[in-house]
Copies of this chain bind each other. A is one copy, B any other.
Amino acid sequence: MGKGITKRSVDYSAWYNELVKKADLAENSAVRGCMVIKPHGYAIWENMQAVLDKKFKETGHYNAYFPIFIPKSYFSKEASHVEGFAKECAVVTHYRLKNDPNGEGVIVDPDAKLEEELIVRPTSETLIWDSYKKWIQSYRDLPILLNQWANVVRWEMRTRLFLRTAEFLWQEGHTAHATQKEAEEEALQMMHVYADFVENYMAVPVLRGVKTESERFAGALETYCIEALMQDGKALQAGTSHFLGQNFAKAFDVKFADKSGKLDYVWGTSWGVSTRLMGALIMAHSDDEGLVLPPKLAPTQVVIIPIFRSEEELVAISKVADVVVKELRTKDITVKFDKRDTHKPGWKFAEYEQKGIPVRIAIGPRDLESNQVEVARRDTKEKNTYSMNELSSTIAELLETIQTDMFKKASQFRADKTTIVNSYDEFKSVLEEKGGFIYAHWDGTSETEEQIKNETKATIRLIPLEGNKEGGKCIITGNPSTGRVIFAKAY
């Protein structure tokens, strides 16, 4: 602690990597590409999980758990899934170790080779639809609205903590419906659930829309997504929700009898968010001093630090602090009174600043006399002196203000970094000089999309769901466009 972090303006990427470590969120493990999520990072993820899990249950979903392994042959069952999905997976080929006959630890037992290799799940559509085949016979069995919290593995070559790791934690929803309309509504609903969460809890504004065909999930007919903007002007996909049509039902032969007894394939959706959200949270708000957390997701919302020189002073301060702690807790505010004598107040200030604790209260001997305390906001670094009377109400309001202000600030940032362009030259210069979201006309072809991507590294982040429906001409081909789409460089 105490040592600084590279400034964002100097090297954004180094800033991020150092911050993740300094704020004690995560670190790389001995296994390439797999991270260790440390207690502070995991506590934030737990808070995210709690909110999302509640929202899923409120919208009628149940949790379940499906195996971590998927038989290799399952991947080939849905043609576009196997074609489109990355083949970088962890493959289990053996099921036993044995002592090395040369006494050098353990070796893989060659006699214990699996007949069919197992893949550590990169996503679970195939295995789950295989189960749904057993569970679904009639319309009475529908809808099935399931979610699972799980770890998944995609063997990424270049990894970054939270943003892209070989193993990551996520939730994956998998639903089955009797009608196309119901499945489409489900996919759309979950996109909005994600958007509400990211905006109202993470305090990060998002754009909502659909992916172009080439950016769709392998096996989906439509991919709804939310996109957030990071402080370096790059976009980050924060969640996706897929309308799968009858693709997986056909691949796994999942049919149901409707009320009249007629058989039809089941309609499906899948949707997920992952520990990648941690990366979005960090990059949207944090500053050169460290992490900045929105109060609604902070594991500790308030820290109280005593300023003392003697044991008597600490005793006197503790008496007051203990009352404050108690009052804050009755308001469901999480608070920590850090009275360790192994570290100086300045060290503690820096530590909690790096860790993003939203509010810091410092109490010294003079504060006891004046019946006031100094309260510092992490987000703006403003300090104010507040009366001890009704301090808990003041703090409760302050936390709400911080939550709102963080969202406002991120929204203003996004507004400043959003540009409407009408030519490819303008597109390229905005992308180069300003970054952010660029609204531009596109002719709707994959070729044009691909050309722009190859030439500028910008991709179509989404086609907006509403608004921006005025016609125009594609910035590349001049062919007609029915509405602007949103481009950005992305994580």
Contacts and interface: CB of A to CB of B under 8 A. Distances in A.
Interface string A159-196: 00000000101000000000000000000000000000
Contacts of A151: 68, 150-151
A257 B153 CA distance: 38
Contact of A66 (B36, B63, B70, B108): B36
B106 A87 contact: yes
A153 B127 CA distance: 18
Instruction: Count copies of this chain in the complex.
Output: 2
A7 interface: no
A91 B92 contact: yes
Given A29-B67, A29-B131, A39-B146, A97 B90 contact: no
B97 A87 contact: yes
Contacts of A308: none
Nearest to A89: B97
Contacts of A119: 97
A30 interface: yes
A394 interface: no
A93 B96 contact: no
A94 interface: yes
Nearest to A98: B87
B63 A43 contact: yes
Given A29-B131, A63-B39, A82 B105 contact: yes
Nearest to A29: B67
Given A43-B62, A46-B63, A31 B71 contact: yes
A30 B74 CA distance: 10
Given A30-B71, A65-B169, 17 more contacts: A29-B66, A30-B74, A30-B130, A31-B71, A31-B118, A34-B68, A36-B67, A39-B146, A46-B63, A68-B151, A68-B153, A82-B99, A87-B106, A88-B96, A89-B95, A90-B92, A91-B108
11 contacts: A29-B67, A31-B67, A34-B67, A34-B68, A72-B108, A87-B97, A87-B109, A89-B97, A92-B92, A96-B155, A120-B120
